[in-house]
Amino acid sequence: MHISKKQQSIIRLVLGAASLVVLVIFELFNITNLFVVLPVFAVGFISVGLDIVKEGVEQIVKGDFIGENLLMSIAVISAVIIGEYTESIAVLVFYTLGEMLEDAAKDKSRRSVENLMSLTSDTAVVMRNNTAQTVESSTVAVGETIIIDPFVKVPLDCVITNGEGEADLSKLTGESLPKTLRPGDKLLSGSINGGTRLVATVTSDYDNSTASIISKLIQSAAERKTPRERFIRRFSKIYTPVVVAAAVLLAAVPPIFGQNFVEYFKRALVFLVASCPCALVISVPLAYVCAIAAASKRGVLIKGTSYLETLAAVDSLYVDKTGTLTQGKFEITKVEPHNITRERLLEICAVCESGSHHPIASAFTPYNTKGETAAEITEQAGYGISAKYKNNGVLIGSRELLEKNRISIPKLEISSTAVLVAINGEYAGFIEFSDIPKPDSAAATAELMRLRIEVIMLTGDSDAAAQNAAKQLNIANYKSRMMPGDKLETVEKAIKDGKTVAFAGDGVNDAPVLKLSSVGIAMGKGTDAAIEAADVVAMNNCISDIVTARRISKKAVGISTFNLIVILIVKAAVLISGALGLAGMWVAVFADVGVLIITVLNALRCLRIKR
């Protein structure tokens, strides 16, 4: 019968604990005969002490003279030398228990992260030469046709061409309800297909598919340490040798002045056991890793633990409007032609806008009935586009665009988002649009303000359009007619004023300000440039993800702060008490292992943080 490593560890711990119980009984009944005590001690030491001493010796060989196992080995061997057999086994048993609990906690957080990283599928069924072939997902090219069988993981980002059904996106977004699928719908890699077979066209290769990107982000997240984590590691390197030196002095100096050597040697052992920094080193990083795993389960990808502390400190959120607060799906609501028919104006605009990536461009698609394209299309960020259509020079965009080109514009009454049109240097009319807020935006912005985060909307739209959107979303502060450079300057000024600034956006032109801000937040359906530049990705594509990120980060920082305070207070109290002879080895064991158990269990609470 094969016994696993974990089972072996449990058996050794049980034997060690049994030996400890027997030794305690011996002490209670004053049994001191070494022929009786030593065999029981030997069972306990072999069970839980040999590996610790072995690793302590290996640390010496490697030149690490302040490792935890070495400290424990010195304390245990020294206790045996002065005849404190029960205390030495107690140290070993509780230290081993603490190590097992620490490993279990790490395993739990690791499994949570690995579960999130198991989004990718190594194989895909692709149609080649009219035959379905199972190949490695990394070999499938954009544009190829794949078949997604029922209840399997979607291997690559794709668009459905045949079949209807549902997909489980819970691992990607945390959304428990399945998404209904029809031909033309996008399907993200990492989601689970429902009970029907689907045929789809690949839109992203393996490395650039959603599942691969998420896995890479999660994998690298824990490598980016917070200032607090870096401080603890530096502090531990100084703290441990200092307390070891103090223990040596405590054992050596008082006897020089006539004090009892054995008494102060015992105090030094208490000091040594209590000084172990394992709880300090593990509890804070563990809390942050668990928080990142909890956020990922809810569709919020935090690219590093360093951003958790920044998120918790954010006091101002600057947020883009179109595609972030609103759906970014525009509908034409009003057409006012000038010296041209309505149909002709819409046709020209539709053809010219077919080469634009701006959200407004999609509103014109139904009017490009012939599928034509314009020439010399030039997009001017924040202003509009210029193009050539059948030898006609066309400008479509803001008032400023036309004025820059010296187009005479009549007095207009425009109440919402609109573009003005000029053809061959003459004003040709304007077109108004409406952009619907996302269902959660109003409630999320209200919740952010309740959490004492000032929300400021930034948009390139007109004053009227910005005012209308701000009113719908109950946002008091907003700035309109913002060029990409204006957004950058606004956020830069806020940072210089001492604010901790988050910026949320989704477009290519948001990438610079996402990089500049204290923490950049990109919408999950935003551009690749925005997602790459951001520190946090809201996979649910909504502002409520920022509320989730804020709550999780505050909770994680609170838990890690509590752990630090408890560890430092208990350690300091026991170190001082041990030096004064007021605390024995059992108290030292609690200061080391007991505090480790408490803080590790507390850190694991971060895995259960809800929205």
Residue 512: how many other CB atoms lie within 10 Å: 17
Give the pLDDT of residue 603. Answer: 84
Give the pLDDT of residue 142. Answer: 93
Instruction: Kindly report the pTM of this predicted structure.
Output: 0.69
Whether 114 shows a pLDDT value over 60: the answer reads no
320: nearest Cα among 480, 132, 183: 480
| Confidence at 219, pLDDT banded by 50, 70, 90 | low
Whether 611 shows a pLDDT value over 60: the answer reads no
Give the pLDDT of residue 243. Answer: 80
Residue pLDDT, tens place only, 251-300? 999 999 989 998 999 898 888 888 877 777 777 788 888 888 888 888 88
Q: Which range in 16-20, 369-373, 377-381 is most confidently predicted, on average pLDDT? A: 16-20
| Confidence at 60, pLDDT banded by 50, 70, 90 | confident
Give the pLDDT of residue 1. Answer: 56
| Residue 571 backbone dihedrals phi, psi, to 5 degrees | -60, -50
Give the pLDDT of residue 84. Answer: 83
Determine which one of 51, 149, 168, 320 is catalytic. Answer: 320
Is 191:167 a contact under the CB 8 Å cutoff? yes
Whether 421 shows a pLDDT value over 90: the answer reads yes
Quote the tokens at residue 230. 């870096």
Q: Which range in 38-42, 271-275, 459-463, 524-528 is most confidently predicted, on average pLDDT? A: 38-42
Residue pLDDT, tens place only, 124-141? 999 999 999 999 999 999
Whether 230 shows a pLDDT value over 80: the answer reads no
Residue pLDDT, tens place only, 187-208? 888 888 988 899 999 999 988 8
Whether 106 shows a pLDDT value over 70: the answer reads no
Least confident interval from 106-110, 154-158, 314-318, 442-446: 106-110
Quote the tokens at residue 342. 């309505």
Mean pLDDT score of the chain: 84
Counting residues of the chain whose pLDDT is more than 70, the rounded percentage is: 90
How far is it, in rounded angstroms, from Cα 250 to Cα 578? 10
Whether 174 shows a pLDDT value over 70: the answer reads no
Is 189:124 a contact under the CB 8 Å cutoff? no
How far is it, in rounded angstroms, from Cα 106 to Cα 128? 44
> Looking at residues 360-366, what average pLDDT do you find?
84
| Confidence at 118, pLDDT banded by 50, 70, 90 | low
Residue pLDDT, tens place only, 489-519? 999 999 999 999 999 988 767 888 888 899 9
CB neighbour list of residue 413: distance below 8 Å, 6 or more residues apart:
none
Check residue 507 and report its DSSP letter: S
Give the pLDDT of residue 272. Answer: 82
The structural domains of the chain, ordered by start, are: 123-208 (2.70.150.10), 301-325+437-554 (3.40.50.1000), 327-436 (3.40.1110.10)
Residue pLDDT, tens place only, 10-27? 899 899 899 989 998 998
Decide if 320 is catalytic.
Answer: yes
Burial zone of 610 (CB within 10 Å; 0-12 exposed, 13-18 middle, 19+ buried): exposed
More confident residue, 88 or 237: 88
Least confident interval from 339-348, 431-440, 469-478: 431-440
How far is it, in rounded angstroms, from Cα 459 to Cα 463? 9
How far is it, in rounded angstroms, from Cα 174 to Cα 116? 11
Give the pLDDT of residue 450. Answer: 93
| Confidence at 479, pLDDT banded by 50, 70, 90 | very high
How far is it, in rounded angstroms, from Cα 252 to Cα 245? 11
Q: Which range in 189-193, 251-255, 484-488, 600-604 is most confidently predicted, on average pLDDT? A: 251-255
Whether 8 shows a pLDDT value over 60: the answer reads yes
> Looking at residues 87-93, what average pLDDT do you find?
84
| Confidence at 175, pLDDT banded by 50, 70, 90 | low
| Confidence at 337, pLDDT banded by 50, 70, 90 | very high
